[in-house]
């Protein structure tokens, strides 16, 4: 299908381009040792990706702490958990890395099991669409 790309899709498409540009710049800066320059640049990028789950967990800490302090017993935390559950990106993150505060708040809502089933169905549909 053709149409406009979302900001997330643009980010995903531009990420490998940016990596290749960074590697090209590193090679131009050190043309005699281009393999080392390429590995170093790629390694920095990978370390950034490895640190990302910890950074996201800190953001989750902040948002849950805010909701717990400002909206004690209110519907806002339930809305937050619902939004995290139905958003495909956060659902994949939570499935891959988990997050104890989410599961604690989610326990009463019973969304985790439904979310996992939905992700499995979405992944199966996506896989069958690729064939």
| pLDDT tens per residue, range 32-45 | 888 888 888 888 88
> Given this model, what pLDDT does residue 62 score?
92
Cβ neighbors of 5 (< 8 A, separation 6 or more) are 13
In the block, tokens 């531009």 appear at 14
Q: Would you say 45 and 19 are in contact if contact means Cβ atoms under 8 Å apart?
A: yes
Q: Which of 5, 98, 1 is nearest to 53 (CA)?
A: 98
- Quote the tokens at residue 109: 């809502």
pTM as predicted: 0.55
Report pLDDT digits (tens) over 70-126.
888 677 888 888 888 888 888 888 888 888 888 877 776 665 567 778 888 888 888
């Amino acid at each position: 299908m053709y149409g406009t790309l979302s900001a997330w899709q643009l980010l995903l498409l531009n990420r490998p381009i940016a990596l290749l540009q960074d590697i090209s710049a590193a090679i131009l800066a050190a043309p005699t040792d281009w393999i080392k320059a390429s590995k170093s640049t790629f390694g920095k990028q990978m370390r950034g990706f490895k640190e990302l789950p910890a950074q996201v967990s800190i953001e989750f800490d902040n948002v849950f702490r805010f909701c717990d302090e400002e909206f004690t017993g209110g519907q806002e935390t339930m809305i937050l958990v619902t939004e995290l559950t139905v958003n495909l990106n956060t659902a994949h993150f939570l499935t891959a890395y988990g997050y104890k505060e989410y599961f604690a708040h989610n326990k009463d809502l019973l969304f985790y099991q439904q979310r996992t089933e939905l992700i499995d169905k979405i992944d199966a549909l996506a896989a069958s669409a690729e064939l």
